[in-house]
Chain A
Amino acid sequence: METLNYRFEHGRRQLAAMPQLVGVVSSGNLEVLIEAAPLNGACEIEIRTAANGFGATWQAVMSDFHERWQLIDARICINDMGATPAVVSLRLDQAAETMTGGLP
């Protein structure tokens, strides 16, 4: 297992108060827990993944996600079981949609 942490600044989109969970921790899949949290305007993402050594790929996928959604005061925690970057992006979009009620 590997744990990765990312922090993004200068978001503007607020989240709903009620935390949401999307996805399932199964092979090639992941779960995303998304919550509003007072983080001085940041969006923090913590990833625990079963696939070691993919830090650069995660960094790219998370940066793209933040560029699309610009979340503010948001905590996102991921349990991953080897999901591909495309699946990760879709799950993150699904999580953000349930919390903002909109599209990026």
Chain B
Amino acid sequence: MSSYLECNARERIARVFDTRSFEEFLPPAARVVSPHLAQLDAPVSFDDGVIVGRGLLNGQVVFGAAQEGGFMGGAVGEVHGAKLAGMLQRAVAERAHAVLLLLESGGVRLHEANAGLIAVSEVMRAILEVRAAGIPVVVLIGGSNGCFGGMGIAARCANTIVMSEEGRLAMSGPEVIETAHGVEEFDSRDRALVWRTTGGKHRYLLGDCQMLVADNTDAFRLAALDAIAATQGHAALTLADLEAEHLMLATRLRDFGAAAEPMDIWKTMGIPDPAAIPMLEAHDFTERVQPFRKGAH
């Protein structure tokens, strides 16, 4: 058992999948690196910051990817995105049991501009194609860079998101919001506020993530197995799913639209002693808030 947060992408793959079962597509030795970074005279990485491939999860063939948050914040460049999209398409072609995405990303790699933006949109489309083929897609978020920007949207295209409270999920990151709207709107240096707003617990309460686990690789692995089992047979996105999601979002906006900060939302939800929420362990937290959270089926 080890901290998911502390592991790098390769260590996460090794611990979440069955021991030594993961076969990497385009491994570092293939040296498929970013052509854009080289042009800018910036350092490249031999895997362009993402590991993609196929392994076993409890003996079943599951395709997977892990983004390396340490390399440019896990940002998606042209090669990085193409590796993700290619792996997802191959999962459909080879009838994978499921796809597991270990995401950690600030979003598009701005050095690669339009190529990165297109890559992210291709990843989103590919995720939905995997689901349309009836294959469950499960996202794990627990790295220190969180999951932001285009990859935040891509994550929400999956069937299930599993987070730790250390994980973060949002569209615009804290610094972006502060830059655009001022420090009065959002103080990106207030870490408690940042985690209350984007962290795993708040995402779980709002229904943006479906499972909240403690920060360890075994817990993420077990949650992924549960999520895949629960989704088998109805992985495809239906019109009814979309309408239910839109209804949930409309209800959320109606009920919490005037709230100034997440603690106000927790109060409005009727959660007893909301001030204690940030200090609770994952298990105690999920037990206490189960009756109050949004998006529970």
Contact = CB atoms under 8 A, between A and B. Distances in A.
B44 A79 contact: yes
Interface string A25-36: 110010101010
Nearest to A21: B28
Nearest to B33: A79
A80 B71 contact: no
Interface in A14-31: 19, 21, 24-26, 29, 31
B8 interface: yes
B27 interface: yes
B71 A33 contact: no
Which one of B27, B43, B45 has the greatest number of beta carbons of chain A within 10 Å? Answer: B43
B49 to A, nearest CB: 8
A26 B71 contact: yes
Given A24-B68, A25-B70, A25-B71, A48 B43 contact: yes
Interface of A: 1, 19, 21, 24-26, 29, 31, 33, 35, 48, 50, 77, 79-81
Contact of B28 (A19, A26, A48, A50): A19
Given A1-B41, A24-B45, 16 more contacts: A1-B42, A1-B43, A19-B28, A21-B10, A24-B68, A25-B44, A25-B45, A25-B49, A25-B71, A26-B71, A31-B45, A31-B46, A48-B43, A77-B31, A79-B45, A79-B46
Given A19-B28, A21-B10, A24-B70, A81 B43 contact: yes
Interface of B: 8-10, 27-29, 31, 41-47, 49, 68, 70-71
Contacts of B49: 25
**Residue from B27, B29, B42, B47 having most chain A Cβ neighbours under 10 A:** B29
Q: Does more than half of chain B's interface fall in helix, strand or loop, or is it mixed?
A: loop
Contacts of A80: 43
A60 to B, nearest CB: 22
Contacts of B43: 1, 25, 48, 50, 79-81
Contacts of A26: 70-71
A19 B68 contact: no
Given A24-B71, A26-B70, A33 B41 contact: no
Contacts of B9: 24
Contacts of A19: 27-29
8 contacts: A21-B27, A21-B47, A24-B70, A25-B43, A26-B70, A31-B45, A79-B45, A81-B43
